[in-house]
């Protein structure tokens, strides 16, 4: 393909080239909106139908870890936006710095997610044969990471919920399927995003991005911010269903 500087042959100007790339990325992001939208819709219907089980499941998540991850992901969106600004203003070493920070924050998110998932395996809260929402209440010695006050509260909530919903365990399993499905797909998007960020990092170290050519930084930025938006919705939907009890 014929290329003059940063301008590919099929475009008249750099602006046209940039607008075309941005438009294409947005069309892709709209398909992603429909993808996550459909999943959240299914979640909403189940949540309304089995409210007690979903509220109970939500309260067994760690608000501290979820909230911390929300802050981490928002911060990574900020560093990504700054990487885009650095490339638009040709600050080459800053591009590398901000891309590295974005990757770092992404990995902090993965680390926290690992701790959360491990906890759920430990507490028998992973959908499947051994799923048991009553596990920690019935065998508290095996869940020593939950302190006594939280355990007492959980026991009380479980008793109320089990009265309201006789099939609580099955429906709580549905909540946890939604939890792992939605956070898992979100994490998969982040893994893809992190892969793209590593590629950008390599290119930026080679000094390829400047005010004229920064489309890849901009486009990956759009993707990263979209993944952040998905989490902006997942956090209240999954962690904050029924916290006020």
- Contact residues toward other proteins (CB under 8 A) are 12-13, 15-16, 18-19, 22-23, 26-27, 29-30, 33-34, 37-38, 41, 44-45, 48-52, 63, 67, 70-71, 74-75, 77-78, 80-82, 85, 88-89, 164, 218, 221-222, 225-226, 228-229, 232-233, 235-237, 240-244
CA dist., res. 17 & res. 219, Å (int): 12
Tell me how far, at minimum, the Cβ of 77 lies from other proteins, in Å. 6
Q: Which of 98, 176 has the CB closer to other proteins?
A: 98
Q: Which of 92, 225 has the CB closer to other proteins?
A: 225
Q: Which of 77, 173 has the CB closer to other proteins?
A: 77
Secondary structure (DSSP) of the chain: --EETTEETT-SSHHHHHHHHHHHHHHHHHHHHHHHHHHHHHHHHHHHHTHHHHHHHHHTS-HHHHHHHHHHHHHHHHHHHHHHHHHHTT-HHHHHHHHHHHHHHHHHHHHHHHHHHHHHHHTT-SSSTT--TTHHHH-GGG-TTS-HHHHHHHHHHHHHHHHH-TTHHHHHHHHHHHHHHHHHHHHHHHHHHHHHHHHHHHHHHTT---SS--HHHHHHHHHHHHHHHHHHHHIIIII-SSTT-
Tell me how far, at minimum, the Cβ of 210 lies from other proteins, in Å. 13
Q: Which of 89, 139 has the CB closer to other proteins?
A: 89
Tell me how far, at minimum, the Cβ of 71 lies from other proteins, in Å. 6
Tell me how far, at minimum, the Cβ of 39 lies from other proteins, in Å. 11
Tell me how far, at minimum, the Cβ of 49 lies from other proteins, in Å. 5
Tell me how far, at minimum, the Cβ of 11 lies from other proteins, in Å. 9
Answer whether 217's CB lies under 8 Å from 84's CB: yes
């Amino acid at each position: 393909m014929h290329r003059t500087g940063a301008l590919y042959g099929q475009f008249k100007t750099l602006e046209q080239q940039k607008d075309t790339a941005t438009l294409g990325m947005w069309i892709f992001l709209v398909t992603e909106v429909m993808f996550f939208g459909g999943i959240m819709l299914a979640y909403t219907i189940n949540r309304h139908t089995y409210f007690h089980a979903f509220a109970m499941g939500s309260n067994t998540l760690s608000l501290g870890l979820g909230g911390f991850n929300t802050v981490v992901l928002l911060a990574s969106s900020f560093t990504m936006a700054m990487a885009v600004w650095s490339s638009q203003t040709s600050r080459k070493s800053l591009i590398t710095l901000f891309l590295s920070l974005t990757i770092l924050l992404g990995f902090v998110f993965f680390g926290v997610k690992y701790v959360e998932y491990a906890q759920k395996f430990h507490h028998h809260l992973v959908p499947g044969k051994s799923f048991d929402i009553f596990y920690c209440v019935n065998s508290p010695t095996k869940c020593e990471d939950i302190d006594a006050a939280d355990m007492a509260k959980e026991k009380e909530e479980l008793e109320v919920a089990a009265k309201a919903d006789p099939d609580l365990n099955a429906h709580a399993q549905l909540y946890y399927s939604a939890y792992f499905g939605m956070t898992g797909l979100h994490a998969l998007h982040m893994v893809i995003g992190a892969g793209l960020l590593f590629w950008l990092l390599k290119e930026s170290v080679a000094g390829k991005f400047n005010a004229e050519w920064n489309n890849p930084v901009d486009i990956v930025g759009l993707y990263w911010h979209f993944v952040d938006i998905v989490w902006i919705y997942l956090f209240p939907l999954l962690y904050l269903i029924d916290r006020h009890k």
